[in-house]
Chains A and B, each alone.
Chain A
Amino acid sequence: AQTVTQSQPEMSVQEAETVTLSCTYDTSESNYYLFWYKQPPSRQMILVIRQEAYKQQNATENRFSVNFQKAAKSFSLKISDSQLGDTAMYFCAFMKHAPGDDKIIFGKGTRLHILP
């Protein structure tokens, strides 16, 4: 069975700083997807970034980038030039690359506070 572990329950950083959220996972699958989702306070869960395991290049989306280390089963999220609007709960998540199987396994989340 797959597991996803986020070792940082809560973090705080100053606005404009760079912050890295950690995530490790365990799987015997060779191909899969990894995600970071963001859930702002009292707002909808949205996808931040997606990584396909067979792609060696790390995914980036504007100020958000990942460090994907497949051998180490590590998938960290880096937020550059952090903004107050980045305050949210962040979930790391795993999905098998199996046709028709879209189940996602989530970590327990990291609550990130961006301080003015």
Chain B
Amino acid sequence: DVKVTQSSRYLVKRTGEKVFLECVQDMDHENMFWYRQDPGLGLRLIYFSYDVKMKEKGDIPEGYSVSREKKERFSLILESASTNQTSMYLCASSTPAGAEKTQYFGPGTRLLVL
């Protein structure tokens, strides 16, 4: 089974803090994604990566950056957290080579910025 893990289920941070959200997958997937999920807005893509050290902006990249130094790990960074970044953050991974096209999700990190 594919396993995608996220470093924290819940985080509370203060405005202006630098925040790191970590995601690790154990299936050697090339592709990794970061979404934020807000009520009534569904899932919105923040950033994605198709390979190590590669990154592409999604639909809402402002205020975020990412890092992918190893294939299995994809980090989301909030350089200076703001209250409007309070949200649920979901990580996902996929492989383009597989016949079963889909994304596999982590459990999510619920971030509260005070």
**Which positions in A face B, CB cutoff 8 Å?**
9, 33, 35, 37, 43-47, 50, 91, 95, 97, 99-104, 106-109
Given contacts A44-B107, A103-B48, contact A109 B42 (CB under 8 A): yes
The answer to the question of B105 belonging to the interface, with a C-beta cut-off of 8 Å to chain A, is: yes
B contacts, CB < 8 Å to A: 31, 33, 40-43, 45, 48, 50, 58, 90, 94-96, 100-108
Q: Is the interface of B mostly helix, strand, loop or mixed?
A: loop
Could you tell me the distance in whole angstroms from the C-beta of A32 to the nearest C-beta in chain B?
A: 10
Number of A-B contacts (CB under 8 A): 47
Q: Are A46 and B101 in contact (CB under 8 A)?
A: no
Contact call B42/A44, Cβ cutoff below 8 A:
no
Smallest CB gap from A104: residue in B: B103
CA distance A97 to B106 in the complex (A): 23
B42 touches A108 (CB 8 A): yes
Which residue of A46, A108, A109 contacts B105 across the interface (Cβ within 8 Å)? A46
Judge whether B102 and A99 touch: CB under 8 Å: no
- Shortest Cβ distance from B50 into A: residue: A100
Residue from B41, B103, B108 in contact with A108 in the complex, judged by beta carbons closer than 8 Å: B41
Residue of B nearest to A107 (CB): B42
Quick one: which of A44, A95, A107 contacts B101, CB cutoff 8 A? Answer: A95
Complex A-B: 19 CB contacts under 8 Å: A9-B40, A33-B101, A35-B102, A44-B105, A45-B90, A45-B105, A46-B105, A47-B102, A50-B101, A50-B102, A91-B42, A91-B43, A99-B96, A101-B96, A102-B101, A102-B103, A103-B58, A106-B43, A107-B42
Which of A45, A102, A108 is the one whose CB lies under 8 Å from B40? A108
Compute how far the CA of A31 lies from the CA of B14 in the bound complex, rounded to whole angstroms: 46
- A102 adjacent to B105 (CB under 8 Å): no
Which 10 A-B residue pairings sit nearest by Cβ, starting from the closest?
A108-B42, A45-B105, A102-B94, A106-B43, A44-B107, A106-B42, A100-B96, A102-B31, A33-B101, A47-B102
